[in-house]
Structure 1
Amino acid sequence: MYAPQEDTDLLAGALSEEPLSPGSDVLDVGTGSGALALEAARRGTRVTAVDVSWRAVYAARWNAWRAGLPVRVVRGNLFEPVRGRTFDLVLANPPYVPAPSGGAPRGPARAWDAGGDGRLVLDRICREAPGLLRPGGVLLLVHSALSDPDRTVRHLRAAGLKAAVTRRRRIPFGPVLRSREQWLRHRGLLSADENNEELVVVRAELPR
């Protein structure tokens, strides 16, 4: 299971600014340890958390139990466990790191590798998340600038949402990016003098 990182912290900051009413329905996909789901539950919302990893599911359940928070944690591939439901807020911290192998990752790398352009999961979220939002509902999605935030915004706007990048943060390369730094430069995803990674939060709202 992937421990919470800077992207989780950035998304938590965006979550703190959302005017959620008690009893609002929140979905956290790719929940990992459940950190974001717990933050939402502390505000009196009804939270469903999803992860494809059983280890993550068990960890999130344990963390929710330990915190005394009523979070429903289920295993599944992205939105499959919540078909037919709608939400006031959808939180998403998916895999988004471009990978030389290009294909679907295996093992622990499922938490970060996302195809040759980093959009293996992002494009699916852009297609499917709009259908899960209630009128006035919001999607908060975090990913790397390496995986084309402009494309995310375009796709979400094309689906009828009001979308924009609302938060940015630069961080030092972690172990994964350091291990493929030369490949990223060769692909033109990193410039010759770029020595850190930019994370972004995209906020998209379905008009009422």
Structure 2
Amino acid sequence: MKLDLMKTIYARVVWDEGGDVSLVEYLTMYHNLMLFFGSFGGFANIQRQMLNKRVKNLESYMIGRERDNYQTLRRMILYEESKGTIGSVNPFSGTILFTCLERHLQFITLALVNTLTLHPQHTLLHAFKPAYLSVLARHHNWFMEKFYLVGMTLMPTKEKAMFAVIASQREEVSFDDLMTTLQLAVRQLNQVTKVCELILNNNNVLNKIPREVVT
């Protein structure tokens, strides 16, 4: 049995021979991941809306006049660096938008890793808070950090969240099946983040964009 989760939490991110990443495939993965993430309650939905806005803004570059330069991650970085717009915040450059999405993907992936071993009756706060402090907190001001920390206290228990996911499936799914599928999905997400992080580091992106906008 193939769960919907296998389709909704990740998609095939294409690497060419030069080690590049397809932005179309990456954003398709992101759209589907947000559908899954929405089952985690009100705070997750607020974050999903923010991330979907970043996705749409990046997509606007991919269909605009310069779209040929916005089809892969490496090509986008090199193009914006050559134009001197890589650090632009008004509007946000494509590189900044991608880096924001990549940081949140790391955060969500680590939170899902923590969720796998979480007791069913414990709230997702215990999985998401350490992931937030490890990945995102360093990029947030005091207000944004408090918003995240308070919002995560409203997240449901693991059991409630997982049964919400199960209810969204188009066929009968057991709790154990869902956990097995989640383990597979987390491995895929880890692979995606490692490749993207390698490209960002090799192009010294974090030293070319404002640190505070990576939120």
TM-score normalised to structure 2 length? 0.27
For the pair shown, the structure with the greater C-alpha radius of gyration is 2
**Relative contact order (C-alpha < 8 Å, sep 6+): which is higher?**
2
Higher-strand-fraction structure: 1
Higher helix share: 2
